[in-house]
Every structure is written in structure tokens, then in C-alpha cells.
Amino acid sequence: MMVIAQGFKSCAAISEELENRNVSISRAAVYMQLRKLRENGYIKAKLGKPTPERGGKAKLYYEITAKGKTELNNAAMMFDSFRKAA
């Protein structure tokens, strides 16, 4: 969710950002996680405009929801408390 927290991003952009952070994950796995996050209300999707490069298909763009931001903040605080305790 941290990757999406900066604003609307496509799955390709999310996958690229994860690669830049040395996280090795297939695009299919990214799609599966995005679907789970949507089902749980942590992110929402918006359909972009169709483009000729995609054969007239539109991309889905993802954005974190208020519920997702709360959960992300809670996870960050928990991680920080574990780190301080170590």
C-alpha cells in the first residue's frame, strides 16, 4: 500500500516501483494483491481513458482509501515499536 499511498498508479507503475525497490514479484501476483486490497476496502480503482497503445483498452489506476491509510499508519507504528524494542 505504501507504493499506492502517493496517488493513483497503474499496476505496471506499481510493479516498476517494486522492482526499483528490489522487490521481486510477478505482475500476476501484484494483480492478486491489488484485488484483495480492493475487496477489503484498502484501495479503490479508477478506470483511465482508452489508449491506442493498449488497443483501445483503458488502464485501471489504484489509490489508497481512508481505511487503507489508517491501516498503513497502524502497521507503520507497529513496525516502529518493534524496531525500537529490538
Residue 44 β-bridge partners: 63
* Res 62: pLDDT: 93
* Res 11: pLDDT: 87
* Res 64: pLDDT: 93
For residue 11, give the C-alpha cell. Answer: 499496476
For residue 36, give the C-alpha cell. Answer: 484483495
Let me know: does 43 contact 65? Beta carbons within 8 Å.
yes
For the whole model, what pTM was predicted? 0.78
**How far apart are alpha carbons 60 and 62 in whole angstroms?**
7
Lowest mean per-residue pLDDT among 6-15, 16-25, 29-38, 42-51: 6-15
